[in-house]
Amino acid sequence: MGFVKEFKEFAVKGNVVDLAVAVVIGAAFSKIINSFIEDIITPLLLKPALDAANLSDIEKLTAFGTVKYGLFLSAVISFIIVAIVLFLVIKGLNSFKKKEEAKPAAPPAPSKEEVLLTEIRDILKNK
């Protein structure tokens, strides 16, 4: 098998195409998440919480220089708040998806064999 033919088979396999679509969708979804965090969560939750805690000014002078562990604590708190909010959003989406999946599907129609066996049973029952 030639190199070009092998590459063509590889490139158009379902997994590769699915992966490419997932990467594009993921990039678009990351823009939504970034906007959600920067435009909604940060002004409503993070900014007031971090301003109230005033952790960014905490630092310690050491022999090696200034260690600004307050900025690190602010980043950790920011991460935890964002993670909790995203968890709640994803949990809400999943519960919505479960409600859609929970709708019972119509029972499948009986196969030809089942119909035929039912007819035979009914005939034998009537005799």
Strands 60-62 and 65-67 turn out to be antiparallel
In 3D, which of 56, 52, 60 has the Cα closest to residue 70?
56
How far from 17 is each of 1, 27, 45, 92, CA to CA, in Å?
Answer: 22, 16, 39, 29
**Which helix (DSSP H) or strand (DSSP E) does residue 65 occupy?**
strand 65-67
Q: What is the pLDDT of residue 25?
A: 85
Q: What is the pLDDT of residue 79?
A: 81
Structure tokens at 5: 């033919």
CB 78 within 8 A of CB 84: no
Q: What is the pLDDT of residue 36?
A: 80
Q: pTM to 2 decimals?
A: 0.46
